[in-house]
């Protein structure tokens, strides 16, 4: 009996350690598992139903070698931490549908425009059994000094296997984000002075109440403090902390 208890505890411990080390989350959908792979900063890879979605792929192509070639690439904005032409040209994009706002489309080379779908704020498209809607992303107040002007870039709302997934892109605490409903998974940015601080991000998350929220695009921010701000007021929101900055402490 003691031996059985020992092995039970041992395997539970091993499973917990593996879960802590694993960079990938698996979430059940109506059509199999959705796997979430944080890459770096604003870059994430989603895999579902034998399809691979790259969100703002930037940086070294080495970081994407373990993933299948993209079926869909979502690009949110023209800034280099979202649209990295060198990274895009180094990836195998032969079969990829690229979804991007007009401002990004104008900067893409002809080689990447063959399967380009232009979405501006409020537009939507159905691609490979996924619904993709462009959500505004911008800074407040809107003035000549705003780093992200309204209408230039996109956040995205994806519907995949019955799950609603929100990708904020570079945004501040805007009404369009607060008005979102029935979001299952949200990737929410937080880094001053480019987007918003953890207090603004927590306030917005508490307003639209996603089931799971991943703080990302958060260089220099205290994301554990963000988690505390959210869960002190709503313990039902599952704040998941991941390593978006490999190699850093």
pLDDT of residue 164: 98
- φ, ψ of residue 203 to 5 degrees: the values are -60, -45
Between the alpha carbon of residue 132 and those of residues 24, 124, 240, 248, the distances in Å are: 23, 5, 23, 33
pLDDT of residue 249: 54
27 three-state secondary structure? strand
| Cα–Cα distance, 138 to 194 (Å, whole number) | 10
Q: 28 is written with which tokens?
A: 């059940």
- φ, ψ of residue 141 to 5 degrees: the values are -75, 160
Bridge partners, 28 (sequence order) = 33
User: Is the CB of residue 236 less than 8 Å from the CB of residue 219?
Assistant: no
**pLDDT 10s per residue in the chain (249 long)?**
443 443 333 333 333 333 333 479 999 999 999 999 999 999 999 999 999 999 999 999 999 999 999 999 999 999 999 999 999 999 999 999 999 999 999 999 999 998 899 999 999 999 999 999 999 999 887 776 778 889 999 999 999 999 999 999 999 999 999 999 999 999 999 998 889 999 999 999 999 999 999 999 999 999 999 999 999 999 999 999 999 998 775
Q: Going from the N-terminus, what domains does the chain have, and what CATH number goes with each?
A: 25-239 (3.60.15.10)
pLDDT of residue 219: 94
Q: 66 is written with which tokens?
A: 């373990």
Give this prediction's pTM: 0.89
Residue with tokens 């992303």: 137
Q: What is the DSSP letter of 148?
A: S
- Can you give 77-119 as a three-state secondary structure string? CCCCCCCCHHHHHHCCCCCCEEEECHHHHCCCCHHHCCCEEEC
pLDDT of residue 19: 35
Cis peptide before 111 (omega within 30 of 0): no
């Amino acid at each position: 009996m003691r031996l059985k208890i020992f092995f039970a505890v041992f395997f539970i411990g091993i499973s917990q350690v593996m879960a802590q080390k694993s960079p990938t989350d698996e979430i059940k959908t109506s059509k199999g598992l959705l796997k979430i792979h944080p890459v770096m900063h604003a870059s994430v890879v989603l895999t579902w139903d034998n399809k691979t979605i790259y969100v703002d792929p930037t940086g070294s192509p080495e970081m994407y070698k373990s993933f299948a070639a993209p079926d869909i690439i979502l690009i949110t904005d023209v800034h280099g931490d979202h649209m990295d032409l060198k990274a895009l040209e180094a990836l195998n994009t032969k079969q990829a549908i690229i979804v991007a706002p007009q401002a990004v489309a104008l900067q893409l080379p002809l080689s990447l425009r063959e399967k380009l779908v232009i979405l501006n704020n409020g537009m939507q498209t159905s691609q490979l059994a996924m619904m993709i809607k462009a959500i505004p992303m911008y800074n407040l107040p809107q003035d000549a000094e705003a780093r992200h002007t309204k209408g230039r870039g996109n956040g995205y709302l994806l519907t995949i296997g019955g799950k609603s997934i929100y990708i904020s892109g570079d945004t501040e605490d805007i009404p369009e984000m607060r008005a979102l409903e029935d979001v299952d998974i949200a990737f929410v940015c937080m880094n001053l002075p480019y987007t918003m601080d953890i207090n603004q991000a927590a306030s917005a998350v508490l307003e639209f109440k996603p089931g799971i929220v991943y703080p990302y695009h958060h260089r220099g921010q205290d994301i554990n403090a963000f988690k505390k701000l959210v869960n002190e007021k709503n313990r039902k929101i599952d704040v998941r902390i991941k390593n978006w900055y490999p190699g850093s402490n």
